[in-house]
Structure 1
């Protein structure tokens, strides 16, 4: 394993508020991480999922080490990634813990299934990915969990839920392509006329 660790001397620390504000400029896809089996389940809303490798299929997710989901992931060695559609805002909100919902109570109001690992996967998600933990790297308040993909269930839907500047945003491939075409067509005609 090639690991480079450097101890940098930083004259002035960046405040958590400044860093949080800076990261709000980064648009993130909204996913629900699910963990556990049977009645001992929990989950959380995240924007920290990213692909790692295509061969073998694997991904990474950053999870707060104090989260109940993290303890279940460590115990069982498996987790689910449920990439939400634009109309699953209510699911995203339930899994943030707002309203005091915890554990299995967060799963109410939606349909769930299981695949190879046994973790709950959201029926109707844009994509539901069943993962086995390959490695966990603990740093500061969070852990980077590397998951080897066991199974993928993809829907035909095209509208995704994203998070940007502290707000949920719908991104619809078909609808947004039409909007871009409407905006760009007039400029193409002007440019084309100018070449004649």
Structure 2
């Protein structure tokens, strides 16, 4: 099970949270239906792998634990703005932001030790709603290519015990929504599976 407000706790306190532990209360924030909004003057920032920072105004309110295959998506009332994606391998989650507001989150699959998922910040190089891997002879629906050697975000059967060959697998319905809102060049930040909490504080 994955903590429902894991990103909110990370945003508020820095570092990865124990997925089995309930998140602590969030200071300087208010819950408004499906959204946790940070109060004016207390907007936190997230540090990306390349050292850049992103300010966060709100995250999705997901109080219940998320399981393999689960996702949340709600962009109601979120203003237009640049889309960016943050993948946290330690939390095994992906978060999609429009401007400073999280609009989607999901539990993911990622690469094994033999074929690890690379970390860093990558632009989306290519989009293809229908794609088949020639290397692994496998379907990769709603493919968003991140690297020249084929690492991508794509629809996958996200289930316990499964892994990828370095790609980021997301639930199919989530993959379709993500595919619809991103464009080539949008950044995807992938944080490593093990991080020093002090590195995420700003």
User: Which one has a larger percent helix, Structure 1 or Structure 2?
Assistant: 1
TM-score in same-fold range (> 0.5):
no
Query: Whose strand fraction is larger, Structure 1's or Structure 2's?
Result: 1
Q: Which has the larger radius of gyration?
A: 1
TM-score range, shorter chain: under 0.3
Q: Give the TM-score of the pair, scaled to structure 1.
A: 0.26
